[in-house]
Amino acid sequence: MTDSTRRRRVLITGATGGIGSHLATALAADYELVLHGRSPDKAPEGVDLAIADLAEYDEVLALMDGVDTVVNMAGAASPGSSWDAVLAANIVGVRNVLEAAREAGVRRVVLASSNHAMGMYDRYEQWPVYPDQLPRGDSLYGVSKVFGESLGRFYHDEHGLDVINLRIGWMSEDPGEADEEILHAMWLSPRDCTEVVRRAIEAEVTFGLYYAISDNPNRRWSMTNTTLELGYRPQDSVNDHLGTTRVVEGGAEVRDDWPRNS
């Protein structure tokens, strides 16, 4: 196989988590995947899992051999995460991923950011929200995602590393498992999740902040740049899955303690 036809070698960190495990299956035909996890007992049957603690730099660097792109899905994933959890996984861990990618000569890092990096706009219903507005984390988790975006910008500006930040909404097979309107508005289907990550890997743009949400009619977060710069075209809509045509003009009210218990 020549260099021009060789498949990209893509490292997926957090490949045993919800989104990471989905991508490990969905992208397997497109790329040569390296799948990372923290615990060998969580490896699916027949999967060779690369074990590393992302808080340990040398272990992270060892993951990068021959890697073209890192899709970083590892980390504390709940808005209720404690400071200790986000410090180790989302701050130290993200720094280690970016630094190891730089040292190893990796071309691109796709960082899993979150709608919670801007979540205070949602709590106070200050919509629409655009990717170039000032960040307003709604939790320590959200603040840790703001840190990752800012650190990614530094690595892009200082070291020339491609960094694509995806502000991922709420990915679920069944949006009906939650009854909060705001979760329905930010729903991301598994199929659309696969596509937006694929576009983040392939797009020519070398840095950006992009919302990653399905084609939901009550969406309050702009995806214009996701469409124009990444070429993302969502295929699914929460209303189609729920069998409804409901549209809430201006957006439904959000409870005062959002995102607690979301």
Supply the residues annotated as catalytic.
Answer: 141
Secondary structure letter of residue 147 according to DSSP: H
**CB distance 203 to 149 below 8 Å:** no
CA distance 106 to 41: 28
CA distance 193 to 182: 18
Report how far Cα 80 is from the mean position of its chain's Cα atoms: 17
Strands (E), the chain: 9-13, 32-37, 49-51, 69-72, 108-114, 162-168, 170-171, 187-188, 207-212
Beta bridge partners of 32: 9
Angle, helices 190-202/18-26, rounded to nearest 10 degrees: 70
**CA–CA–CA angle 154, 85, 135 (5° rounding):** 40
CA distance 173 to 74: 20
Tokens encoding 137? 């984390």
Closest CA to 74 of 152, 20, 24: 20
Rg of the chain in Å (alpha carbons): 18
CA distance 137 to 168: 14
Secondary structure letter of residue 187 according to DSSP: E
